[in-house]
Amino acid sequence: MIIRRAEGTDWAAIWPIWHAIVAAGDTYTYDPASSSAAARASWLAPSPDEAWLAELDAAVLGTYHLAPNQPGPGSHIANASYMVAEAARGRGVGRAMVEHSLARAREAGYLGIQFNAVAETNVHAIRLYEQLGFTTVGVVPRAFRHPTAGLVGLRVMYRDV
Residues of this chain that bind a copy of itself (CB under 8 A): 22, 25-26, 28-32, 34, 69-77, 111-112, 114, 116-117, 119, 136-147, 151, 154, 156, 158, 160
Question: What residues form DSSP beta bridges with 67?
Answer: 79
Which residue, 56 or 111, has its beta carbon nearer to a copy of itself? 111
Q: How far apart are CA 29 and CA 61, in angstroms?
A: 21
Minimum Å gap between C-beta 48 and a copy of itself is: 11
Which residues 6+ apart lie within 8 Å of 129 measured at CB? 98, 115, 118, 157
How far is the C-alpha of 92 from the C-alpha of 142, rounded, in Å? 30
Cα–Cα distance measured from residue 31 to residue 43, given in angstroms and rounded to the nearest whole number? 13
For a copy of itself, the closer CB: 93 or 113: 113
Contacts (Cβ under 8 Å, ≥6 apart) of 80: 64, 65, 66, 98, 101, 105, 113, 115
Nearer to a copy of itself, 3 or 161 (CB): 161
Closer residue to a copy of itself, CB minimum distance, 7 or 141:
141
Q: How near is the Cβ of 161 to a copy of itself at its closest, in Å?
A: 12
Q: Which is nearer to a copy of itself, 103 or 137 (CB)?
A: 137
Residue 79 Cβ vs a copy of itself, minimum distance, rounded to whole Å: 11
User: Shortest gap between Cβ of 125 and a copy of itself (angstroms)?
Assistant: 15
For the bound state, the minimum distance from the C-beta of residue 4 to a copy of itself, rounded and expressed in Å, comes to 29
> Given the DSSP bridges, would you call strands 112-119 and 77-84 parallel, antiparallel or unpaired?
parallel
- What 8-state DSSP symbol labels residue 73? G
